[in-house]
Amino acid sequence: ELEERYVADLAQRDRAYAQEIAVFRAAVTDIAATLEGAAALARFNAGDEIGALAVLDQIVDARERARQVRANIETAAERRQVASLAYEARARGRLDTAAVIARYENVTRLDPGVFWDWIRLDRLYQDVRNFPQARRAAERAEETAGSDLERIVAHDALGDVLRREGDLAGARARYEEASRIIQR
């Protein structure tokens, strides 16, 4: 559990750092210094003020979205730590499952690209017998899996949900896919 958290934290920091560098580079670069900005200014000077302004607005909007993504990832990283502690408090019988689900839903809304967040949500939803939500979380885990180990865990998680929903053929297909990865 501790090692899993450490690896997830390192991965999160790498992603946040890469985002931060990209946003920083964009922020310190004058719009006119970019190819798109220079082309837009050339259009402006050539008399196409409206077209140039539209392009410049798009550039600024893209930068704003990048800053928002960065902020979301940073906030998610902080909330993920709290959610992880809530998960542990739940295991100790100190917190109800709904409170932990709410925290992980918030984390995945802010940063939907972290595999282990979806696995935790899947497990929590299964614990409260909310199988449609568990299936969606397991499917998102499959989508975000970045390694064979993660794909095995995701297939197994989705297989468990499908089995509990009565879709034995679907469950078997997921378990067999996990087994193929293990054998490979």
Residue 108 CA to residue 73 CA, distance in Å, equals 10
Q: Higher model confidence: residue 44 or residue 135?
A: 135
pTM attached to this predicted model: 0.71
Residue 16 contacts residue 76 (beta carbons within 8 Å): no
Given pLDDT bands bounded at 50, 70 and 90, which one contains residue 41?
confident
Q: Higher model confidence: residue 7 or residue 33?
A: 33
Task: Tell me the pLDDT tens digit for each residue of 111-164.
Answer: 999 999 999 999 999 999 999 999 999 999 999 999 999 999 999 999 999 999
Residue 120 CA to residue 43 CA, distance in Å, equals 51
Q: At what angle do helices 49-91 and 2-28 cross, to 10 degrees?
A: 160
For residue 35, is pLDDT > 90?
no
Rg of the chain taking only CA atoms, in angstroms: 22
Q: Is 130 helix (H, G, I), strand (E, B) or coil?
A: coil
List the single range of 21-30, 45-54, 67-76, 172-181 with lowest mean pLDDT.
21-30
Given pLDDT bands bounded at 50, 70 and 90, which one contains residue 28?
very low
